[in-house]
Copies of this chain bind each other. A is one copy, B any other.
Amino acid sequence: MPEPLEPEPLESVPAAFAPHDHRACETRVLDEAADRLAELGGRLTPVRRRTLEILLESHRAMGAYEVLDRLATEGFGRQPPVAYRALEFLVEHGLAHRLQRLNAFAACLHPGRDHAPAFLICRACDALAELPAAPVRAALADLAADTGFIIERATIEAVGLCPVCVKAAA
């Protein structure tokens, strides 16, 4: 066994950028989502659950209309609010994130309380990684504090090349 010692403590190369047992990702997140909703009091109805599953199918962000198409072909409503409401619910409950650079959504891979990650978006393969961004946010908070500005929400998104595509380009 190569490295069974660390379950996923710092996750130096995000799963999104490496081959992995993705089925495990999906079931883990779905389980955590159920737990989290039990605490918060939200209901994971069929549309909502299916929306989360669709987002979870790949480590990338999906547009609302792409999600909607999927939902529609699976027998749910085919009007925009169907997708937007489900996505909004997931975002509000910390189960998904909205990517500003892409006008798109992605499942949250770490549905813990009040985490506020940074995102790395590969422009070549669309892979999306979600990183704990405490130091970045701290630096930003410092900047803002000097000006008297009070930050409520911050968007930290980077576009570039993931390790796989860097290698491929070389």
Residue of A123, A135, A143, A163 with highest tally of chain B CB at under 10 A: A143
Q: Which residues of B contact A156 (CB under 8 A)?
A: 140, 154-156
Q: A120-B144, A131-B143, A144-B120 are in contact. Are A160 and B150 (CB under 8 A)?
A: yes
A interface SS class: mixed
A40 within 8 A of B: no
Residue of A101, A153, A154, A157 with highest tally of chain B CB at under 10 A: A154
Instruction: Contact check, A147 vs B123: say whether CB atoms are below 8 A apart.
Output: no
A161 within 8 A of B: yes
In the assembled complex, 26 residue pairs joining A and B whose CB atoms fall closer than 8 Å, in A order, are A12-B147, A14-B147, A17-B147, A100-B100, A100-B101, A100-B155, A120-B147, A120-B151, A129-B147, A133-B140, A133-B143, A135-B139, A136-B143, A140-B156, A140-B158, A149-B160, A149-B161, A150-B160, A150-B161, A150-B166, A151-B160, A152-B161, A153-B158, A153-B160, A154-B158, A155-B157
Q: Complex Cα distance A147/B162, Å?
A: 8
A118 within 8 A of B: yes
Complex interface bits, A1-39 against B, C-beta within 8 A gives 1, otherwise 0: 000000000001110010000000000000000000000
Instruction: Contact check, B159 vs A154: say whether CB atoms are below 8 A apart.
Output: yes
Which residues on A are within 8 Å of B, measured CB to CB? 12-14, 17, 100-101, 118, 120, 122-123, 129, 131, 133, 135-136, 138-140, 142-144, 146-163, 166
Q: A135-B142, A143-B135, A155-B155 are in contact. Are A148 and B13 (CB under 8 A)?
A: yes
